[in-house]
Structure 1
């Protein structure tokens, strides 16, 4: 007879590493693109950032239901506001 298994343990170390990498990549991308577009025109940087995040948001939201991808989604969701804040400070 086989025993019923409980849920697998949460891989915290791997998950938090993925979240950190996703966070860093998102912040770097937002800041780099925002600075380049800001040199052309600040309004262009704002519009492109908002449109890009609005376009990516549904995909990232769907990732929250997938066990591995939810870690990446958490890094992205935390990285966008920090990237915008870094753009305002720079």
Structure 2
């Protein structure tokens, strides 16, 4: 488990659902700090990854600090972004 997890129950639930350790920690800590309902309302404002171009997906990967994405296909980029 990563360093300091503020909402362990939510963290474990997200991990069981397949979220990466980093993503589960980020969501569970945000939920603990701001409330689960606030964090839940934040989503669904971004375009679907399928609607984005490969350069847009690569920019998103770069924003997230990912590495090794430059030669990935669109489907592989989407998969990596979803599980980051």
Query: TM-score, normalization: structure 2?
Result: 0.37
Give the number of the structure whose residues are more often helix, by fraction: 1
User: TM-score w.r.t. structure 1 length?
Assistant: 0.35
